[in-house]
Chain A
Amino acid sequence: MAEISFPLPDLGEGLIEATVLEWLVSPGDQVERNQPLVEVETTKSAVELPSPQAGKVVRIHGGPGDRINVGEPLIVFEVPDNTAGIVGTVPKEEAPKRRVRLSAVLDED
Chain B
Amino acid sequence: MSNSILEGETAGFRQTESAAGNVTVVMSMQQALNRALDEVLAENPKAVIFGEDCGRLGGVFRITDGLQSKHGENRVFDTPLAESGILGMSVGLAMAGFHPIPEVQFDGFAYPAINQIVCQIARMNYRSRGTLPMPITLRVPSFGGIRAPEHHGESLEALFAHVPGLKVVSPSNPHEAYHLLKYAATRPDPVIFMEPKSRYWQKGDVDAADGGSPEGAKVQREGRHLTLVAWGAMVARCLQVAELAAEDGIDIEVLDLRWLKPIDADALVASVRKTRRAVVVHEAPLTSGLGAEVAQLITQGCFDTLKAPVERVTGFDVPYPSGDLEDEYIPNIDRILFGIQRVLEYRRG
Q: How many interface residues does chain A have, given as a range?
A: 20 to 34
Interchain CA distance A84-B248 in the complex, whole Å: 36
Closest to B59 in A: A85
Q: A4-B3, A88-B197 are in contact. Are A102 and B60 (CB under 8 A)?
A: no
A100 CB to nearest B CB, Å? 4
Q: How many interface residues does chain B have, given as a range?
A: 35 or more
A63 CB to nearest B CB, Å? 24
A89 CB to nearest B CB, Å? 5
B245 near A102: Cβ-Cβ < 8 Å: yes
Question: 1/0 per position for B334-349, CB-CB distance to A under 8 A?
Answer: 1001101100110000
B146 contacts which of A1, A3, A88, A104 (Cβ < 8 Å)?
Answer: A88
Closest to A4 in B: B3
Let me know if B202 is at the binding interface, CB within 8 A. Answer: yes
Let me know if B148 is at the binding interface, CB within 8 A. Answer: yes
A86 near B338: Cβ-Cβ < 8 Å: no
Q: A89-B146, A89-B147, A91-B145 are in contact. Are A97 and B333 (CB under 8 A)?
A: yes
Closest to B198 in A: A91
Q: A98-B337, A104-B344 are in contact. Are A85 and B149 (CB under 8 A)?
A: no
A85 near B62: Cβ-Cβ < 8 Å: yes
Question: 1/0 per position for B106-117, CB-CB distance to A under 8 A?
Answer: 100000000000
Taking Cβ atoms with an 8 Å cutoff, the residues of B that contact A are 2-5, 7, 28, 59-62, 106, 145-149, 152, 197-198, 201-202, 225, 240-241, 243-245, 248-250, 323, 333-334, 337-338, 340-341, 344-345
